[in-house]
Amino acid sequence: MAYSSTGFATIAASKRGNAPGIYAYKTTDAIADVNTSGYFNSLSSILEVGDLIYCVTSTGSTAVATLVYVLSNASGVVDVNDGTTLANTDSD
């Protein structure tokens, strides 16, 4: 699939200094698609190296939360890391 702007939101963006921006993104794409180089290219003017993206991906009835960060952003190509899945430890 492809990135969709309807699932993207800014949580916090640094107005001064070099603190990373924090964003949220929700999609029905699998995290394997989201963390592929080029997926966030349309945001290359916004995203900077080190920015965090809280991703909620859903393929079917299960949603998965993953925290990724921007590894590189050069010549309009954005690459994020594979991410860290936020595990659900609820025993219910």
Strand-pair partners of 41: none
Say what the pLDDT of residue 28 is: 93
Say what the pLDDT of residue 90 is: 65
- Number of alpha carbons in the 13 Å side-chain half-sphere of residue 84: 5
Say what the pLDDT of residue 92 is: 58
pLDDT tens-digit readout, 36-56? 999 999 999 999 999 999 999
Residues in the chain with pLDDT < 50?
none
Structure-token pair, residue 33 = 């698609």
Say what the pLDDT of residue 91 is: 60
